[in-house]
Amino acid sequence: MARVLDVRNLSVTYKNKNKCVYAVSNASFSIDQGDSMGIVGESGSGKSTMAMALLRLLPRKKTVVEGEAGFLGQDLLHISDEQLDRLRWKNLSVVFQKAMNSFSPVHRIGDQIEDIYRIHEPNATRKEAHGQAAKMLALVNLNERVYKLYPHELSGGMLQRVMIAVSLLHEPDLLIMDEATTALDVVTQGQILGELRKMESELKTSRIIITHDISVVSSSCNKIAVMYAGSLLESGHVSEVLARPAHPYTKGLLAAFPPLRGQRVVLESIPGYLPDMAARHEGCIFAARCPEAMEKCKSAAPARTDLGNDHFVSCHLIEVEKQ
């Protein structure tokens, strides 16, 4: 399968006058055509920062982005602005959590969709644009009627769905959804995720979905990446990582989620707090909260270990086991 996105050693540092915040450090992952990857982590774990860095949406003066991000043969982090503009919407699109607030209140939804369509298809007729928009609106379970409405006439959930439809207009190779369905109702969210899955198998698009809800990932993605305090601790196929989590943090997260069916279990928290991201950490970033931490964990950062079948984990315990 063709590789769509190949991120290597991505680091993002926020800088201001007197301190640096290391928001993402050394993240590496890759996405193949047709893959859907869920990036999970708690608030402050750097998952949104990572997405923003890939899209080059972070303020240039205040951030330092290092590493590589190969996307369809180009390096997203190093191409010129013009080259990037050609990719945006067309090959790479994004939906944010509060995307519904980004509509202009004084233009009809349909006109706004057409504008976006024309960026990459400047010669498209009104009919073509309308046809494509109607197709995508149907995909997110919206009536074509919204085309003629103004944003204030729709509910937040409906606007969010319009935004998802807009992001799909050009049938992009990669769609990034940053908590895009979090604010929606369970039923709507379930339906949109179902439609996206169906569409992905038809159009061969790939998707990155950023969320704090593992259940969304387990039901709609084939790959998962677990982030904690700016580090990617574990990544791999959903079927493998959720069934046999290797990293203590992943195990902890799973124990904190109640299952929907079956026996009721005792929920367990992970004690402690996120570390100070403004300081460099010598050892494993999770060591202070890890129930299985050893001496080594506090002094040396663990390497990324390959467990086979795309399952990667950064933990000393695994390194020891492998030897």
Partner 1 sequence: MSGNYIEIKDISKFYPVKGSGTLLGGKGSRKLVKAVNGVSVGMAQGEVLGVIGESGCGKSTLARLLTRLETPTAGDVFIGGVSTGKMLEQDAKKFYRTVQIVFQNPYDAFTPRDTIEQLLSRPLKNHGICPDRASRHERCAELLESGNLRPAEDILKRYPHELSGGQLQRIAILRAMSLDPAVIVADEPVSMLDVSVRADIINMLLEQSASKKVTVVFISHDIALTRHVADNIAVMYLGRIVEYGAAQTIIESPLHPYTQALISNCASIDIADRVEPIRIDGEPPTPIDPGPGCFFADRCPVAEEICFREYPETAARAGNHRVACHKA
- Which of 1, 57, 138, 256 lies at the binding interface for partner 1 (CB under 8 A)? 256
CA dihedral sign of residues 230, 236, 239, 242: negative
* Residue 153 lies near partner 1 (rule: CB under 8 A): no
- Which of 7, 52, 140, 216 lies at the binding interface for partner 1 (CB under 8 A)? 216
* Residue 264 lies near partner 1 (rule: CB under 8 A): yes
- In this chain, which stretch among 14-22, 55-63, 247-255, 275-283 interacts with partner 1, using CB under 8 A? 247-255
Q: Which one, 11 or 218, has the nearer CB to partner 1? A: 218
- Which of 7, 193, 227, 284 lies at the binding interface for partner 1 (CB under 8 A)? 193
- In this chain, which stretch among 24-32, 72-80, 234-242, 314-322 interacts with partner 1, using CB under 8 A? 234-242
Q: Which one, 41 or 172, has the nearer CB to partner 1? A: 41
* Residue 186 lies near partner 1 (rule: CB under 8 A): yes
DSSP strand pairing (304-306 vs 231-237): unpaired
Chain positions 268 to 297 lying near partner 1, rule: CB under 8 A, are 268-270, 273
Residues contacting partner 1: total by CB under 8 A: 43
* Residue 106 lies near partner 1 (rule: CB under 8 A): no
Least distance CB 3 / partner 1 (angstroms): 25
* Residue 257 lies near partner 1 (rule: CB under 8 A): yes
CA 181 to each of CA 27, 186, 216, 217: distance values in angstroms, whole numbers, following the listed order: 24, 9, 9, 12
Structure tokens at 208: 């990155």
- Which of 267, 280, 309, 323 lies at the binding interface for partner 1 (CB under 8 A)? 267
Residues 6+ apart with CB under 8 A from 40: 47, 211, 212, 213, 214, 217, 224, 225, 226, 227, 253
Residue burial 215-242, b: 16+ Cβ < 10 Å; e: rest: ebbbebbbbbbbbbbbbbbbbbbbebbe
How far apart are alpha carbons 84 and 121 in whole angstroms?
Answer: 16
Residues 6+ apart with CB under 8 A from 121: 128, 129
* Residue 266 lies near partner 1 (rule: CB under 8 A): yes
- In this chain, which stretch among 61-69, 201-209, 246-254, 301-309 interacts with partner 1, using CB under 8 A? 246-254
Least distance CB 119 / partner 1 (angstroms): 30
Comparing CA positions, the residue from 209, 128, 140 lying closest to residue 170 is 128
String marking each residue 13-42 x if it binds partner 1 according to CB under 8 A = -----------------------------x
End-to-end CA distance of the chain: 32
* Residue 239 lies near partner 1 (rule: CB under 8 A): yes
- Which of 20, 134, 254, 293 lies at the binding interface for partner 1 (CB under 8 A)? 254
Q: Which one, 242 or 307, has the nearer CB to partner 1? A: 242
